[in-house]
A and B are shown apart, each in its own frame.
Chain A
Amino acid sequence: SYVLTQPPSVSVAPGQTAGISCGGNNVGAQRVHWYQQRPGQAPVMVVYEDYNRPSGIPERFSGSKSGNTATLAISRVDAGDEADYYCQVWDGNSKHVVFGGGTKLTVL
């Protein structure tokens, strides 16, 4: 089955830019979506189809892809961005929704 790999944790100082990676075989051919899950809350989609932002999501959140890695970048990070972040694709071969293992973002 298709596997998406994320680092378990990322730390960043306030005001800096955080980058969260998501690797997978031929992920360049996939459409990658990203979710933020704050403690005790439901996930919220922050980027869809690689780089698009849903209505209401700040421009500080951006998505990109290069080769077999997708990246979620969060600029001007503040304490409110502390959360778990998940990448996700639709695997057409297995017909499964697939999530990465999640990355805990810590703001120092």
Chain B
Amino acid sequence: EVQLVESGGALIQPGGSLRLSCEVSGFMLGNYNMNWIRQAPGKGLEWVSYIKADSTLILYADSVRGRFTISRDNAGNSLHLQMSNLRHEDTGRYFCVRDGGKTGNQEFWGQGTPVTVSS
């Protein structure tokens, strides 16, 4: 069974840093591209970042480029999102998502981890 379990969400002050992790099981992480997608409270889905299976291509939404860094440890079956210089508008639930491939469908989602940026 495919499982993705996020962790690391917390209440953090503006300007602070946070590292999210996603532990996967039920499949070989190294065979799949991965994404982080977030959802602000009561709002829609917003793509945050993408990393190719072999880390040779990394992409970011304009809203987080330069502040967030995605990485992966295929041997350890984990995906990470290092977030720095956090802003109020970064508040939301962050989902780790397995990418379905060429057409970019988001085929499996974790339950998400909550991030609250507030003073």
Give A residues with C-beta under 8 Å from B.
Answer: 1, 31, 33, 35, 37, 41-45, 48-49, 54, 84, 86, 88-90, 95-102
Contacts and interface: CB of A to CB of B under 8 A. Distances in A.
Contacts of B107: 45, 48, 54
A106 B44 CA distance: 17
Measured as residues with beta carbon below 8 angstroms from the partner, the interface class of chain B is 20 to 34
B106 A33 contact: yes
B31 interface: no
B21 interface: no
Interface in B80-107: 95, 100, 103-107
Contacts of B110: 42
A98 B47 contact: yes
Nearest to A42: B109
B44 A86 contact: yes
Interface of B: 35, 37, 44-47, 50, 59, 61-62, 95, 100, 103-112
Question: Main SS of the interface on chain A?
Answer: strand
Contacts of A86: 44-45
A98 to B, nearest CB: 7
Contact of B106 (A31, A43, A84, A100): A43
B105 A33 contact: yes
A34 to B, nearest CB: 9
Among B50, B104, B111, the one with the most A-chain Cβ atoms within 10 Å of its Cβ is B104
B45 A99 contact: yes
A97 B47 contact: yes
Contacts of A33: 100, 103-106
